[in-house]
Structure 1
Amino acid sequence: MLELRDLHVYYGAIEALKGVSLTVGEGEVVALLGANGAGKSTTLKTASGMIQPRDGQVLLRGERVDGIKSHELVQFGIGHVPEGRRVFARMTVLENLRMGAYRLKRPDPADLDRVFTLFPRLADRRKQVSGTLSGGEQQMLAIGRALMGKPELLLLDEPSMGLAPLIVQQIFEILREINEQGTTLLLVEQNASQALQLANRGYVLETGAVVMSDEASALLSDPRVRAAYLGETIE
């Protein structure tokens, strides 16, 4: 479904991505791991059109989409849940969700029902101002808002950041359900164990380059990954 080919992305004179290539097949969950500053968020932003590469290609279903602006890429079936949630704090939960369906002439009530089924807490707080929600509720809202655009590919940037372990578990259970319902996921996540238990495959980034890629189960058992991201000691 998604292919990134030899992406080179710069912030001024600093090269943030140094030839990143990866693929995400239809129906897959693919995890993107790496330390802070490795280029994970930049990769997602490039895939969703928020950043344009200096070199390389972004292909969606075999067609090049690099050069297309992010708000236009939504029409191609890409949804992006950014790091830090970025909900519209002064708007209600329902208003935020309706904003997620802006590309549609009229929001589909079935999509709203789907979001409220996945996230019953949002249904209870539909009239609440979003800035007053808890961190976990705001993360649910950010995911729900993206789902309102009917994405076939959902990009998620650190969905567990700053959340309590119980809420993290709930979020990942819902992500699994979203995938089982037919949405492909590309996931950037600091919680490597949770990400690899959910994913089919994974990539590891270091300083803007892919240094490892394998089946998720193989990465989860790799001693280098366990030492770098799960806090284990290599003996």
Structure 2
Amino acid sequence: MSTTKVPDVGSAPSAAGSQDTTALLELRGLEVFYGAIQALKGVDVTVREGEIVTLLGANGAGKTTTLRTVSGLLRPRVGEVVFEGERIDGIPAHHVVGLGIGHSPEGRRVFPTMTVLENLQMGAYRFKDVPKAELERVYELFPRLHERRTQMAGTLSGGEQQMLAIGRALMGRPRLLLLDEPSMGLAPLIVAQIFAIIQEINAQGTTVLLVEQNAAQALALSDRAYVLETGSVMMSGPASDLLADPRVREAYLGEGAA
């Protein structure tokens, strides 16, 4: 894709200059660095209550960095992360979880020498007692995890580990769920199952901010989307508009995609 910045393809407002009181999450002018290398360059993103919002972009575009900044694993040098109207940039990651933000990271990052149940219990560490309702919800969403609950996480298949990573994030009762490449390395049938479960999680009331390389499925699932290139938002708008945009189709669906 061209690196020339283009306006939104739809009517969805940018977080910059917008005081949208319905916003659950606002990223305002984020600039994030790894040493001397700037990874995010003035990123503005808004996620409203109840939405699924997707971040698209090539490797190195800044998608994972954006999620890590929201969850407190990285701190912006410039800009603000605002959740439910309050700034949270600078708050330690283990406290961000307590605010209602769950993060299923790229690569799943399960604890391989712990059982499935122990991994899920780790997701509920902020509670004095593991909430039974959340555990039952996870088992209902992912019956395979209930079947494997005493099995070591490191022996699970890739799809089962992805289910576990999402389930672990849900154990903290998040209002906002950050999902980083949930379909990576999975067979098409498992990918379809994961996307169906993401829809169900959202239907149950959890807002989702999704990073995904599978652009067609992600856009079909989402309300709105942002396209990142080399640390900047280059396009944004309703997901259906981006899915129909020839620039997006050429860059992420293959030139001449039907």
Provide TM-score, normalisation by structure 2: 0.90
Partner of 1:25: 48
Structure 1 residue 206 and structure 2 residue 239: aligned? no
What is the percent sequence identity of the aligned residues? 71
Residues 170-216 of structure 1, C-alpha deviations (whole Å, 9 max, x = no match) = 00000000000000000000000111011000000000000000100
Partner of 2:29: 6
Partner of 1:70: 93
Q: Once the 2 structures are TM-superposed, how far is the Cα of residue 110 of structure 1 from its aligned partner? A: 1.2
Separation in structure 1 between the aligned mates of residue 92 and residue 229 of structure 2, nearest angstrom:
27
Q: Once the 2 structures are TM-superposed, how far is the Cα of residue 67 of structure 1 from its aligned partner? A: 0.6
Alignment length (residue pairs): 234
Letter in 2 for 1:37: G
CA RMSD of aligned residues (A): 0.7
Structure 1 residue 105 and structure 2 residue 128: aligned? yes
Separation in structure 1 between the aligned mates of residue 38 and residue 134 of structure 2, nearest angstrom:
40
Letter in 2 for 1:4: L
Match of 2:251 among 225, 228, 231: 228
Separation in structure 2 between the aligned mates of residue 164 and residue 129 of structure 1, nearest angstrom:
22
Structure 1 residue 34 and structure 2 residue 57: aligned? yes
Separation in structure 1 between the aligned mates of residue 80 and residue 60 of structure 2, nearest angstrom:
22
Please show how residues 1-235 of structure 1 align to structure 2 within 5 Å: 1-233=24-256
Separation in structure 2 between the aligned mates of residue 20 and residue 124 of structure 1, nearest angstrom:
42
Separation in structure 2 between the aligned mates of residue 223 and residue 132 of structure 1, nearest angstrom:
42
Structure 1, 174-183 or 103-112: larger mean CA deviation: 103-112
Q: Once the 2 structures are TM-superposed, how far is the Cα of residue 62 of structure 1 from its aligned partner? A: 1.0
Separation in structure 2 between the aligned mates of residue 108 and residue 44 of structure 1, nearest angstrom:
26
Letter in 2 for 1:179: N
Residues 146-167 of structure 1, C-alpha deviations (whole Å, 9 max, x = no match) = 0000000000000000000000
Letter in 2 for 1:48: S
Q: Once the 2 structures are TM-superposed, how far is the Cα of residue 232 of structure 1 from its aligned partner? A: 2.5
Q: Once the 2 structures are TM-superposed, how far is the Cα of residue 233 of structure 1 from its aligned partner? A: 2.9
Separation in structure 1 between the aligned mates of residue 37 and residue 131 of structure 2, nearest angstrom:
43
Residues 70-114 of structure 1, C-alpha deviations (whole Å, 9 max, x = no match) = 111011000000000000000000000000000011111111111
4+ runs of 1 displaced by more than 6 Å?
none
Separation in structure 2 between the aligned mates of residue 220 and residue 187 of structure 1, nearest angstrom:
16
Separation in structure 2 between the aligned mates of residue 153 and residue 3 of structure 1, nearest angstrom:
12
Letter in 2 for 1:210: V
Residues 207-232 of structure 1, C-alpha deviations (whole Å, 9 max, x = no match) = 00000001000000100000000012
Separation in structure 1 between the aligned mates of residue 255 and residue 223 of structure 2, nearest angstrom:
23
Separation in structure 2 between the aligned mates of residue 82 and residue 26 of structure 1, nearest angstrom:
21
Runs of 5+ in structure 1 lacking a partner?
A: none
